[in-house]
Structure 1
Amino acid sequence: KYKNVSILLAKQHALVIEEGLKDLKSKNIQCNYVVIDQFSSSKSRVVNELGEYGRECDLIQRHRGEEDIAVASASIIARGIFIQEWERMCSKYKLNFPKGASDVISTGREFVSMYGQEKLRDVAKVGFKTTQKIFSLY
């Protein structure tokens, strides 16, 4: 859906920030700033995605954002959810998906042979040259 991982990250960060700030506001809790790890050279990428709640406080983006306890906590929670969903996906498709870049072509080809090319976008980023290598046998 998105051609660039930074765009996806910006949209998802903004969504979480908006929901969190909306919840705080409903409880009459004021938030002066939000700290996130800087994942893009364009600091405006997240700012441009923020809605009404996000525009009411300062957004601080910095490298090594995990030095802030809240960012570190969020990172741990996100990693836990990632692992849960990865295990769910492996179980659903009865395939051991690699977590990194190793062996993705052979796993991708195995997946496509089992479920077809269209289903690949449900489990992988498909806007890369790697996808063409996976499809080259079909």
Structure 2
Amino acid sequence: MEPSSLTDQASFSGVNRIGMDESGKGDYFGPLVVAAVFVDATTESELRLMQVRDSKKISDGRILELAPDIRAICPHSVVAIGPQRYNELYRKIKNLNRLLAWGHARALENVLERVECGLAIADQFGDERFIRHALQEKGRSVRLVQMPRAESDVAVAAASIVARAEFLLRLKRLSDEVGTTLPKGASPAVELAARMIVKKHGQERLKSVAKLHFKTTQAVLAG
């Protein structure tokens, strides 16, 4: 499975492909979620009619409306790595790009078990060899294209919406469990929420809701 050169990236419209994207990578609270979505010519037209585009350009409310419709018409896979599991994996792997690649490989493998497809597209986040190795172990052969701003492709945009919706739902669930609203991102509001959790539940509880390798953890515990 070889990555594409930049010259091959012009347009994949009308081509059967699997788009992949993740959500939660830059969020202190909540899981890391990777989604893979298979798109063919028919579902591509439907996604365009639904005005599917990069999840970063859509409100949370609209994301939560669109995701079930995308999941209903497209074969897909969602790999959600909750904070506790994320922290365990990060301690072992010690590299976010490798952890991301592991999640992408799992999501892609899940979709390939359901459909025949020779092309996968993802954002450019690092070394693709880890995905290639994970797939080759299972005898999978697929052309992987990693490119900047991959969300401009409707298949990747669909995956970004499915991943973000899952992230938002799981973040809300975690907020309800700890009785504190867990903000997105890594802002001063996030640090304040983390301090509240430590105050109410003890610092041990942080590992069940937060990605501990963020600098926010040091700031909160030092405080």
Please tell me the TM-score bracket, short chain as reference.
0.7 to 0.9
Q: Report whether the alignment pairs 1:63 with 2:154.
A: no
In the aligned structure 2, how far is the partner of 1:124 from the partner of 1:108?
A: 8
1:7: how far off? 2.2
- Match of 1:27? none
Name 1:110's counterpart in structure 2: 196
RMSD, matched Cα:
1.7
Deviations 1:4-38 (A, max 9, x none): 322221111110001110122xxxxx311111111
Q: Mean Cα displacement is larger for which, 108-117 or 72-81?
A: 108-117
Q: Percent identity?
A: 39
Matched, 1:72 2:163: no
**Unaligned segments of structure 2, at least 5 residues:** 1-87
The code of the aligned residue for 1:129 comes to: K
Higher share in strand: 2
Determine which structure has greater relative contact order: mean sequence separation of CA pairs < 8 Å that are 6+ residues apart, divided by chain length. Answer: 2
2:114 corresponds in structure 1 to: 23
For the structure 1 residues 49 and 121, does the alpha-carbon distance in structure 2 shift closer, same or farther, using more than 3 Å as the test? Answer: farther
Residue 208 (structure 2) aligns with: 122
User: How many Å separate the matches in 2 of 1:4 and 1:107?
Assistant: 26
**CA deviation profile, 1:35-81 (whole Å, cap 9, x unmatched):** 111122x232432333415x311111111111221111111111111
Q: Who is 1:132 aligned against?
A: 218
- Please list, as runs of the form range in 1=range in 2, the aligned pairs for 1:47-62 lying within 5 A after superposition: 47-50=132-135, 51-53=137-139, 55-62=140-147
Aligned-partner Cα distance in 2 for 1:47–1:118? 36
Output the CA distance in 1 between the equivalents of 2:98 and 2:206. Answer: 21
The reply on whether 1:34 has 2:34 as its aligned counterpart is no
1:78-132 alpha-carbon deviations (Å, 9 max, x no partner): 1111111111111111111120111222211111121222221111111233212
Distance 1:71 1:133, change over 3 A: same
Give distance in 2, aligned partners of 1:69 and 1:22: 22
**Paired letter, 1:91:** D
Residue 168 of structure 2 is aligned to residue 83 of structure 1: yes
User: Aligned with 2:162: secondary structure?
Assistant: helix
Question: What is the TM-score when the length of structure 2 is the normalising length?
Answer: 0.54
What is the alpha-carbon distance in structure 2 between the residues aligned to residue 63 and residue 96 of structure 1?
A: 33
SS at match of 1:61: strand
